[in-house]
Structure 1
């Protein structure tokens, strides 16, 4: 059997070899689609892809805590699985990317082991999460795969084959070292040459590199910690995992709601133990506070950037978000604007975190299962 070649994306880099720096890159919509797709990834998925070295605050430690806790501390086994491998509400689009680094398995279908229970319900209850428990109390059983090609998450059908997944048309784009995206033009290139003090563009080296899934994942990691992500990929500079970036949050994290009557959240109280010099040793908290912390893992990256604005990360990945508003405005499909700028969580996330950050949940899909139902003997 012939070996299936791994897909790659060609990206042209404009490199200043003397200063060991990539000034900018030129690429088509395939690469920009992949970059914009990062905004839909749940934070827990990013932590897992980075092997718990994402440097997104203390989320690496939160993820490790979920791993180490026994399933006895969760309502169901599925709850732990949903946090360690959160589903992407925009997976219907992301699965069409030329390179999709999210390896979370979404197509699995689980139904109740009790066939009489399933038959007695008009709409067959199902789940896409391993370890889910039916309302009757029995564990759900894996029964196969299903294709999510319908609903709000489904990518548009019948579009121009030359168009991208998120971007419009077949264009060339300029991507700066700190991941600002804009349509390519001679005037933009000249302004970048002037910005970097390049008197003669002929002195720059133009190099085409091929990015595979591993390189794309590495680029995501660098974008979380560095303002020179393309330079880091090309020159293979080490990532500083010990760097610390502290900032002060604004007093008001989100705007007022027009109708806040049904959105009131009770205060969460914690008890802290401090030393005499006010250093915090540890805190004791109820399950509400732990739910709040663990819920962060299901929040999409774009929603975090939206909430915290320019204070979200010490890297440059948030420039992708603001490019859609600015330099790349008008080059993203209208139906994809909300997917990237206000990404939703998967159905039934139902945690305090989504309510506090005003992250909406995707409406549940309705799936009609036709065919024979396998029976099990006990």
Structure 2
């Protein structure tokens, strides 16, 4: 690995030489804390941190991120929304500030408080008004040098905890090494011990690999090739399997309106080429960037994704609560929520907004000399609603073109013609279908954006899609093929 400055972590690995595979690694709690914190990382930050990683892309989120990043600001309700979407804050950022390597924080430590002394709402953002109708008037800084900055030096896990991690990202305390795990060693030939020091660069490579590979440790540290294409949609015949379809209906005031869109597809191979949508669909898509990564894994089975980061999520679920410095740390990882102030009024996905720092509420009682908050959302009887809501980041009326891989651009007949010509799909093979994005489809679209390069196809079209055929067309456009082959 390349030399780099910054924090380093030691991994003591068992390597199967003949198979060129890392069986497992022992490491300290500091490294595992960094991995656990990935569950609270906003999807936009995942796309930003891994945009230069090679090989492969992570589903469609890179395309979505770059499309929003390049979107003309005249389509935005407020120019400030651009930074919120491409650089969102994490609801759990305060728990990650003192980790040995903090990948979560975006550098902001500002909070805004509602002007209503009975509301007690706090937001990370000063856009719009509180849900109660009052302005988010009072500002507080909560940086490392602030008196309001909480003492979180202990991090997420207790200092004496030691862990093992397998090649497929299953994490367990060393005390849980049982006979079944030790029997795994018998499957391999020569095994050697190897200790390496890794830093930020390697951790980011691990993140990228864990989202598309079943062997991220071996691929990162042994240059093992990934046999499964990241473009292949897993479980096409079974679909994306939801495991948690219920959520608290605390937000009955939200306007859940289904969205209609038109899909244009190759009817021979049943592959979506593009969708013609209005601003409401792009609003739904763009808010995905503010979601914590772990939310998708909390809602779908591990098998719904091409990588093995879901194994890490399940490991957190199974880790003894006594190994955490506080039960709220574990809850922040397994039930990740939106940062306060990010609730989108018409969002079809039932993700909840965090109630800000309920265990540190006393730190914010003197946010302004003009105002004292005597009640907090965590108190009995406090109003249980998000700090504020917005009606969407995209200004309408507007029409957009959304590709199968979630590239978004303003609609143009010329762009449509050029796209169809480049994909070399005969006009006679084109068909249109009006589809509806409801709550269930929105959840599947979120998962597909992380699991597949064909998010529209996976969400709206039949399960017998010939994905390999479409991949060939894409490769041909990129100069990787020399002719058409039968699909």
TM-score (normalised: structure 2)? 0.61
- Find the counterpart in structure 2 of residue 47 from structure 1: 47
- Find the counterpart in structure 2 of residue 25 from structure 1: 25
- Find the counterpart in structure 2 of residue 348 from structure 1: 341
Q: Give yes or no for contact 2:14–2:192 (8 Å, CA) kept in 1.
A: yes
Task: Give 1:208's match in structure 2, choosing from 195, 217, 222.
Answer: 195
> C-alpha separation between the residues in 2 aligned to 1:244 and 1:312?
12
- Find the counterpart in structure 1 of residue 379 from structure 2: none
- Find the counterpart in structure 1 of residue 80 from structure 2: 78
Q: Deviations over 1:236-271 (max 9, x none)?
A: 335677532244134786126567854561111112
- Find the counterpart in structure 1 of residue 204 from structure 2: 217
SS in 2 for 1:295: helix
Q: Does 1:301 align with 2:293?
A: yes
RMSD over equivalenced CA pairs, Å: 3.8
Pair 1:307–1:133, CA change in 2 (3 A): closer
Q: Deviations over 1:299-332 (max 9, x none)?
A: 0011111112324521111111111222555423
- Find the counterpart in structure 2 of residue 368 from structure 1: 367
SS in 1 for 2:323: coil
Q: Deviations over 1:250-297 (max 9, x none)?
A: 478612656785456111111223455354332222222111111110
- Find the counterpart in structure 2 of residue 231 from structure 1: 218
Task: Give 1:243's match in structure 2, choosing from 209, 216, 231.
Answer: 231
> C-alpha separation between the residues in 2 aligned to 1:122 and 1:357?
27
- Find the counterpart in structure 2 of residue 11 from structure 1: 11
Moved more, 279-288 or 214-223: 279-288
Pair 1:301–1:256, CA change in 2 (3 A): closer
Length, aligned pairs only: 340
Q: Give yes or no for contact 1:101–1:216 (8 Å, CA) kept in 2.
A: no
SS in 1 for 2:23: strand
Taking the TM superposition and a 5 Å limit, the aligned residue runs for 1:126-275 are 146-147=142-143, 157=152, 164-185=154-175, 188=177, 190-197=179-186, 203-237=190-224, 242-247=230-235, 248-250=239-241, 254-255=245-246, 257=248, 261-262=252-253, 265-275=256-266
> C-alpha separation between the residues in 2 aligned to 1:224 and 1:251?
18
Pair 1:227–1:150, CA change in 2 (3 A): farther
Pair 1:146–1:172, CA change in 2 (3 A): closer
Structure 1 residue 47: Cα displacement: 0.6
Task: Give 1:100's match in structure 2, choosing from 77, 80, 102.
Answer: 102
- Find the counterpart in structure 2 of residue 139 from structure 1: none
Structure 1 residue 335: Cα displacement: 2.0
SS in 2 for 1:356: coil
Q: Give yes or no for contact 2:12–2:26 (8 Å, CA) kept in 1.
A: yes
- Find the counterpart in structure 2 of residue 313 from structure 1: 305
> C-alpha separation between the residues in 1 aligned to 2:243 and 2:166?
32
- Residue segments in structure 1 that go unaligned for 5+ positions in a row: 111-120, 136-142, 372-378
> C-alpha separation between the residues in 2 aligned to 1:211 and 1:311?
29
TM-score (normalised: structure 1)? 0.76
Pair 1:242–1:339, CA change in 2 (3 A): closer
- Residue segments in structure 2 that go unaligned for 5+ positions in a row: 130-138, 371-487
Q: Give yes or no for contact 2:244–2:298 (8 Å, CA) kept in 1.
A: no
Task: Give 1:357's match in structure 2, choosing from 350, 354, 375.
Answer: 350
Pair 1:329–1:253, CA change in 2 (3 A): closer
> C-alpha separation between the residues in 1 aligned to 2:246 and 2:192?
47
- Find the counterpart in structure 1 of residue 280 from structure 2: 288
> C-alpha separation between the residues in 1 aligned to 2:142 and 2:280?
34
Structure 1 residue 176: Cα displacement: 0.9
Pair 1:370–1:327, CA change in 2 (3 A): closer
Moved more, 253-262 or 86-95: 253-262
Moved more, 270-279 or 7-16: 270-279
Pair 1:243–1:284, CA change in 2 (3 A): closer
> C-alpha separation between the residues in 2 aligned to 1:227 and 1:329?
27
